[in-house]
Amino acid sequence: MMRFLLPLVLFLSSPLVLAEPEAPPRTLGSATQVSLTTQILQLGLGLIVVVGLIFLLGYLMRRVGPMAGIGSQQIRVISSLPLGTRDRLLLVDVAGKQMLLGASAGRINTLHVFDEPVADLDAVRQQGDFARKLNALLKREPNE
């Protein structure tokens, strides 16, 4: 249906485009200056909006992003498994003790505290080492 809709709209609108009168040529003068000023203002405002969005997304990624649990703190999120839109299982390391937590929209429950670590922290750190992965991709041959 959508495959036929676009050509039909273009076919029916083509006589309307051809019937439009031509615009009179612009004269040089103050109208050009206003237009140039308006364009520079739009460009500046657009740039401010884009830079603001970049900073906003950076802030949000630090607060709730996947990299929020990585750092030199005593509490680390080792693994996360989404169970639904708002529920997830978290494997957390707190000062060397690993716990399985259930997190939902309004609460966090401890499901199990492991006596022995189930995940090796060094292996988890190596898996998440972005710089190492990027270097490996850049050094790889393009034919591979």
All residues at 6 or more sequence positions from 112 whose CB lies less than 8 Å from its CB, including other chains: 99, 100
Instruction: pLDDT band for 138, please (50, 70, 90 cuts).
Output: confident
Task: Confirm whether 40 is domain-assigned.
Answer: no
Listed range (60-64, 116-120, 124-128) with the worst mean pLDDT: 124-128
Task: Confirm whether 98 is domain-assigned.
Answer: yes
Task: Confirm whether 89 is domain-assigned.
Answer: yes
Residue 81: its pLDDT value, please?
84
Residue 12: its pLDDT value, please?
67
Q: Quickly count helices (H) and strands (E) in the chain.
A: 4, 4
Residue 55: its pLDDT value, please?
94
Task: Confirm whether 27 is domain-assigned.
Answer: no
Task: Confirm whether 70 is domain-assigned.
Answer: no
* Contact predicate 137/117, CB 8 Å: no
| Domain boundaries, position 84 | 75-139
Task: Confirm whether 115 is domain-assigned.
Answer: yes
Total structural domains within the chain = 1
**Residue 99 buriedness (CB in 10 A; 0-12 / 13-18 / 19+):** middle
Task: Confirm whether 110 is domain-assigned.
Answer: yes
Task: Confirm whether 12 is domain-assigned.
Answer: no
